[in-house]
Copies of this chain bind each other. A is one copy, B any other.
């Protein structure tokens, strides 16, 4: 039941694949590939050549295989993307295992989330797939909810709190994204070798500020900033719009707000 390659809707097929409900027969020649190798190759392509370059053809080429062969493993591109997204969630520290109280854990979660997004910017660029939860994502979410054990938050509040932090991190990641068509700047090791260094993140941030600088230069030649007094004031004071405000600022505000709620609930 629920054969991933013949199920009716794409959604159903993606879910069946993600959750490993594979009901294929045992006849025929042995398969030359595994789903994991395909997903790994796809992630490598996205990482190296940018999310826009992630095509089935490239993945097949990297695996030394014809394009059509991939279709015996994966029903289509959308499903592959769903698998990629769940795959990057595999190596992460489970949120409730971070040390400290709920606020420390939540801070660590957000920073980890942020690091992950800076390291794999393509996760924000893929299709609809992030709506399809895989086992790794559910495990992560389950763990994240446990952060609030002991606080007086209601269950929906816990869910919302996690979702809010997630939305903030992803939203900021997209506002700060390096050109989605260009390859990743660092072009570090494969995604499988999860333990990348801080240096990689640093390098990404650096190249981004270079993009930003170029844009601001061109912008300065075209725009009369006297038309935007408040903005000019902010710029003169050293802030850079759409570019430089630190991730931590928003996170601290968000956590302060959640803390107020926790205090109210525990009172």
Contacts and interface: CB of A to CB of B under 8 A. Distances in A.
Interface of A: 2, 9, 11-12, 15-16, 19, 21, 124, 127-128, 130-133, 135, 138-139, 141-143, 145-146, 149, 154-161, 163-164, 166-172, 174-175, 177, 179-181, 211, 214-215, 218-219, 221-223, 227-231, 233-234, 236-242, 244-246, 249-250, 252-258, 260-261
User: In the complex this chain forms, how many copies of it are found?
Assistant: 2
Nearest to A132: B215
Given A128-B179, A253-B257, A260-B260, A245 B159 contact: yes
A207 B174 CA distance: 25
Given A218-B11, A221-B2, A234-B155, A171 B160 contact: no
A164 B239 contact: no
- Which applies to chain A's interface (DSSP): helix, strand, loop or mixed? helix
Contacts of A138: 223, 228, 231
